[in-house]
A and B are shown apart, each in its own frame.
Chain A
Amino acid sequence: MSENVDTTLAPRTTRPPASPISRLFESKQLGWIALAIALLIPLLIATPYSLNVMTTAAIFVLLASGLNIVVGYCGLLDLGYIAFMAVGAYTAGIIAKAFDLPLIFTIPAVIIMTVLAGLIIGAPTLRLRSDYLAIVTLGFGEITRITANNLSITGGPSGIFGIPGLLKIGDFDLQEPAVFYYVTVLVVAAFVLAAARLGKSRLGRAWRFVREDEDAAEAMGIHTYKVKLMAYIFGAVWGGFGGILFAAHLSAVSPQSFVFLQSALVLMAVVLGGMGNMRGVVIGALVISLLPELLRDLSTYRYLVFGLLLVVVMVFRPQGFWPARGYEPERMGDVSDRRLAKGTVR
């Protein structure tokens, strides 16, 4: 009976008061602010070097947002994610070069190939759990790279070069560094937004339930296998688009770009940023891709410093800069159990 409800106990919400920084982080406009900054930066520094670095960083953000669907949303540890980027980059490169097509026309083929790759890698492996899945994905990542290294269609160890640009209409060439940067930023922004939306959808909720407790999710009627496969396929397509941009950016693709370290760095961006939170992951990706460049003055020591900084962050903030849920719930005492028993509250 609602009139019997004991209202003397204050609502037990334990969220700490919001600081200005966390208010900024929570703000709905943050994404637009970030996009505006990304679009305005070339007006300040537009050297070929800075455009190159920023374009690479934007592509890295796309990869991290894709891996976040797999690892962050669905909780599947994937150590071979870069394989999907390789599939996208090679598919785009081979088709564009063979038919002398602008890269933009390879998009349908890339989508088909990455979905297939997601199915081929995902279907047999997704019955495995955590550690086993991680080992198998690590293996698949290496298999993809080694296959590309040995096939003639992929150009072997030297790869494919002289890949046509994204699109050229008359004098207007999307390959112009500043223009390409803008194209990349807009494409990446669209994918990040789409991934964030996906996280809030019905499928996104299912991913979270699977991540938190797969058995309970299954007992409540979630087709866990299908849901996990969907996460894999979305992640693969995101990686494939990263591959197209990568191929366009460098106009060359070679196996050395898809070594395990690359998978590890993307994963690091997701973990560092905060698994499951797209905003955190974008920040993590920017840190991982830009920090080594900012540390360039330290020359050979820069990767040492980079590594130390990552260790320091993980020691002091193991949940990442900005995890999906800001705090762990505090377990409350059995006060309410007593109220339950008295029948004052049912």
Chain B
Amino acid sequence: MAMLEFDNVAVYYGKVQALRGISLTVEEGEIVALLGNNGAGKTTTLSTASGLVKSHSGRVSFNGTDITKAMPWNVVGAGLIHVPEGRRIFSTMTVLENLLLGGYLVKDRALVAKRIATVYELLPLLAERSTQQGGTLSGGEQQMLAIGRALIAGPKMLMLDEPSMGLAPLIVARVMQVISEIRDQGTTVLLVEQNARAALKVTDRAYVIDGGTTTIEGRAVDLLGDSRIIDAYLGA
């Protein structure tokens, strides 16, 4: 059974149809990328899974449970965590306060403390900066904080929206490395990226979304050599 499954999901914003039938699956332990151009529907796909956007038709399920109509807090509670585009960290709050938000639904304070310690181990720069305000961090650090915050919620699966956005190539590589470490520690990852080359280096499989539907699906190694992908998303 797939961990996350989209079955022919359609979403409208008013009269505009954003998703025209997305079908995809993510298996436990995988890193799967969603590739595609601006406005293809990648972000809407993630928002539909996390309950921020309601689908018009189709079915979304997570670990066998139907979450098509679930509210965001229930989805978070089920262990599916969405790291939104643009990081969305709280700039006037400290790094630690930002991390604590991740543990908002976790009643057990000792568990939150333990998870913060684990995140500090994975991302020591956050430990170093724990009393600094989020807004004083650099772009790369803010992305790490956004990921760290999501990890405090204890995700079974992490959905990352454009973690490479606005970052220098070396930082992008570092972010991808962290993502692959997170997977190695047992968290499934669904990654939305425009930077197809960087994404395909760490992912197992990928879907291409175009015009609100999934058009191409395949193993990352195959897609890196696929002429359609090379022409459209990787450049010459």
Let me know if B137 is at the binding interface, CB within 8 A. yes
- Cβ proximity bits A191-221 to B, threshold 8 Å, 1 near / 0 not: 0000000000010011011001101111111
Give A345's nearest chain B residue, CB to CB. B125
Find out whether the CB atom of B136 lies under 8 angstroms from the CB atom of A14: yes
Rounded to whole angstroms, the CA-CA distance of A290 and B7 in the bound complex is 64
Let me know if B163 is at the binding interface, CB within 8 A. no
* B151 CB → nearest A CB, Å: 12
Let me know if A13 is at the binding interface, CB within 8 A. yes
| Number of A interface residues in the complex (CB < 8 A) | 40
Give A335's nearest chain B residue, CB to CB. B138
Find out whether the CB atom of A12 lies under 8 angstroms from the CB atom of B136: yes
Stretch at the interface among B126-134, B187-195, B209-217: B126-134
* A264 CB → nearest B CB, Å: 27
Let me know if A45 is at the binding interface, CB within 8 A. no
Find out whether the CB atom of A209 lies under 8 angstroms from the CB atom of B153: no
Classify chain B's interface size: 35 or more
Let me know if B167 is at the binding interface, CB within 8 A. yes
Give A225's nearest chain B residue, CB to CB. B71
Residues of chain A from 10 to 25 with CB closer than 8 A to chain B in the complex:
11-14
Let me know if A297 is at the binding interface, CB within 8 A. no
Once A215-B84, A221-B153, A329-B92 are accepted as A-B contacts, the answer to whether A205 and B97 lie under 8 Å apart by CB is yes
Find out whether the CB atom of A215 lies under 8 angstroms from the CB atom of B52: yes
Find out whether the CB atom of B92 lies under 8 angstroms from the CB atom of A325: yes
- For B100, list chain A residues within 8 Å (CB): 205
Give B132's nearest chain A residue, CB to CB. A12
Find out whether the CB atom of A216 lies under 8 angstroms from the CB atom of B77: no
Stretch at the interface among B32-40, B58-66, B168-176, B221-229: B168-176
Find out whether the CB atom of B123 lies under 8 angstroms from the CB atom of A346: yes
Let me know if B105 is at the binding interface, CB within 8 A. yes
Let me know if B186 is at the binding interface, CB within 8 A. no
- For A2, list chain B residues within 8 Å (CB): 124
Find out whether the CB atom of B174 lies under 8 angstroms from the CB atom of A341: yes
Indicate which residue in B102, B136, B173 contacts A329 across the interface (CB closer than 8 Å): B136
Indicate which residue in A205, A221, A325, A336 contacts B125 across the interface (CB closer than 8 Å): A336
- For B90, list chain A residues within 8 Å (CB): 208-209, 212-213, 216
Let me know if A124 is at the binding interface, CB within 8 A. no
Let me know if B13 is at the binding interface, CB within 8 A. no
Let me know if A333 is at the binding interface, CB within 8 A. yes
Let me know if B45 is at the binding interface, CB within 8 A. no
Give A336's nearest chain B residue, CB to CB. B138
Rounded to whole angstroms, the CA-CA distance of A346 and B148 in the bound complex is 12
Let me know if A330 is at the binding interface, CB within 8 A. yes
Rounded to whole angstroms, the CA-CA distance of A333 and B136 in the bound complex is 9
- For B174, list chain A residues within 8 Å (CB): 340-341, 343, 346
A-B interface, 9 closest residue pairs, ranked by CB to CB distance from nearest: A221-B76, A341-B170, A329-B135, A216-B88, A329-B133, A221-B105, A337-B140, A337-B138, A329-B136
27 CB < 8 A contacts A-B = A2-B124, A11-B132, A12-B136, A205-B101, A212-B93, A218-B52, A218-B72, A219-B72, A220-B150, A221-B73, A222-B104, A223-B71, A325-B92, A328-B135, A329-B135, A331-B135, A333-B138, A335-B138, A337-B139, A337-B168, A340-B138, A340-B140, A340-B144, A341-B140, A341-B171, A341-B174, A346-B122
